[in-house]
Structure formats: structure tokens, C-alpha cells
Amino acid sequence: MCWSATADLAAGTCVAAIGVACVAQVRHLRDLPLAALPLLLGAHQIIESVVWRSGEGTGPATVAWAVIALPLLPVWVPFGVLLAAPPPARRRLAVLAAVGIATAAVLAYSLATRSVTAEMRGHTLGYVLDLPRSPLIIIGYLLATVGALLLGGDPVLRLLGVVAGLGAVACALLWRLEFVSTWCALAAVASVVLYRWVRQRPAGPGTALA
């Protein structure tokens, strides 16, 4: 999320461009889902630029934004890390992937049975969805996303996990103050770190891309 439709569109385009560069550098199919994450983050911000322009309320863009943010990311991230991880790390990552599936199932059910609306709050957008008020959902989401990055066994992904965890706290605090939304900056930093990860991946055994 950024502070305006123009900022979201510009940031989303830049993040998506980094995603294209990441995908172009991929050497093995198992790295492709994680390398494509910036493409998803960029699309997420571009979708939000549409939400800004459509004003408050619900609609296809609002629902699409919520689908990516809520059920999709806690599945995409841990499975992406799992596929790219070395064998010793895969057992613990499989547990986190299962946590992500369970968390995503609850969030997907909430989206399917309840309406989500967007509200302009100062220089931020707020999304309202009646979710079950359980700390287990937040814990499961963080374990599946940040936890998978921290426990994936790769130092660059571990750095991304630290950046994502600290950045999410800072962004959430600024968002609650309704001062300005900085999630787009976090997405940009995360995408640059992922580009570094792709560039440093060894050309080891695996299914190579032609």
C-alpha cells in the first residue's frame, strides 16, 4: 500500500519490473515461485491504485487486493521457500507450509462468506473484513511468511525475513497513525533482496531452465 493512486501505480510498476528481472535470472524451476514474488507484489500495488481511484467501498479490485494479501501470500511464500531450500531444511519448512495452508483456508473462507470494503483513512487505505478475532491467525500468518524466510537455510532469505519482520512492524505503526502507508517501500526493498538472492543462487543440480 502507498499513500495515493499515483504512488501505488509507480511503485507497483517498479516492483514488477524487478520481478521480471528476477524471473529472467532464474536458473532452476524450483527457484521460480520465490523469484516471481516481486511480480505478485507489484501486481498487488497496481491493483490498489485501482482501489484508490474507485473510492471507498467494495468491488473487484478490493476483493482482488484482499485475496492476494490474505489467503495467497501465506501459501506462496512458504512453498516458494520450501521448493528452493536445501534438503536439511525441508522438513521444518513443510510444517510452516502446512501452517500457511491452514491459515489461508480460514482467511479464504472469511473472504468467501463476508464482504471486504476499502476505506480512505488520511493518506492510507484501510480494508475492513470481519475476520475471526483469534491471535492464532496472526501467528500462523507470520510463521508461514516471515518464519519460512528465517528458517529457510539461506542467508539472503534470512536477511529478507528480518527486513520483512521489522518492516511490517514499522509499516503497521505508521498505518495505524493514518499518517502515510509505507508498505510499497517494504515491497520494493524485499524485491531488491530477492533479486540479490536470485543472482547469487548456485548453478547446482536441478531442473534447469532452457
pLDDT (tens digit, 9 = 90+) per residue, 40-73?
999 999 999 999 888 766 889 999 999 999 999 9
117 has which bridge partners? 128
- As for how many domains the chain has, the answer is 1
- pTM (2 d.p.): 0.89
Q: Which residue range is the domain that position 177 belongs to?
A: 5-200
Residue 107: inside a domain, yes or no?
Answer: yes
Mean local confidence (pLDDT), 71-78: 96
Residue 209 lies in a domain: no
- Cα dihedral 198, 199, 200, 201, rounded to 10, equals 50
Instruction: Identify whether 96 is part of a domain.
Output: yes
Is residue 208 one of the residues assigned to a domain? no
Q: Please report whether residue 205 resides in a domain.
A: no
CA angle centred on 17, ends 83 and 46, rounded to 5°: 95
Confidence label for 126 from pLDDT (cuts 50, 70 and 90): confident
Segment 81-118, tens digit of pLDDT: 999 999 999 999 999 999 999 999 999 999 999 999 98
Tell me how far CA of residue 53 lies from CA of 9, 13, 59, 129, 187, in angstroms.
Answer: 11, 17, 12, 20, 21
Contact between residue 43 and residue 26 where contact means Cβ atoms under 8 Å apart: no
Beta strands in the chain (DSSP E): 117-121, 124-128
- Residue 33 within any structural domain of the chain: yes
Could you tell me how many residues make up the chain? 210
In a domain, 207, yes or no: no
